[in-house]
């Protein structure tokens, strides 16, 4: 049972345009949502997070939108740059046995074309 899903395995965007990465979840108990960026053969790097009580969080070129009724979140990157080419994972966080536990989606490979 996949609680966090990223239905697009890959996405290709032209440099300078907007990249939109999507993520769906099933468990209403998640209280935070996070996005990570990962280059090949490296560990994921934390990008941005959002609390379940908010619907938008912005940090520079990155904005995360949360639609609780649809159990859907998205990451917008504007403008997209070549260095943004990577695999992006969304993760959902919930309290479990005294700790915040993360559940990850399968990832979306973003390619920015010059």
Nearer to another protein, 44 or 73 (CB): 44
Alpha-carbon gap, residue 40 to 86, rounded angstroms: 8
Alpha-carbon gap, residue 69 to 88, rounded angstroms: 23
List the one residue from 25, 85, 89, 112 that touches another protein (CB under 8 A): 89
List the one residue from 60, 83, 98, 114 that touches another protein (CB under 8 A): 98
Nearer to another protein, 2 or 14 (CB): 2
Pairing of strands 19-25, 4-5: antiparallel
* b/e 1-26 (16+ beta carbons within 10 angstroms → b): eeebebeeeeeebeeeeebbbbbbbe
Which residues in the 18-77 window bind another protein by CB under 8 A? 31-32, 34, 36, 41-46, 49, 51
Contact residues: another protein, CB under 8 A: 4, 6, 9, 31-32, 34, 36, 41-46, 49, 51, 89, 93, 97-102, 104-107
């Amino acid at each position: 049972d996949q609680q966090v899903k990223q239905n697009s395995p890959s996405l290709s965007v032209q440099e300078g345009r907007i990249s939109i990465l999507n993520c769906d979840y099933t468990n209403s108990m998640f209280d935070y949502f996070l996005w990570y960026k990962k280059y090949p053969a490296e560990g994921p790097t934390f990008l941005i997070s959002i609390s379940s009580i908010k619907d938008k969080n912005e940090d520079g070129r990155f904005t995360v939108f949360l639609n609780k009724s649809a159990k859907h979140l998205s990451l917008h990157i504007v403008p997209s740059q070549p260095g943004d080419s990577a695999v992006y994972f969304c993760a959902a966080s919930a309290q479990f046995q005294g700790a915040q536990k993360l559940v990850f989606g399968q990832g979306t490979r973003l390619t920015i074309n010059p």
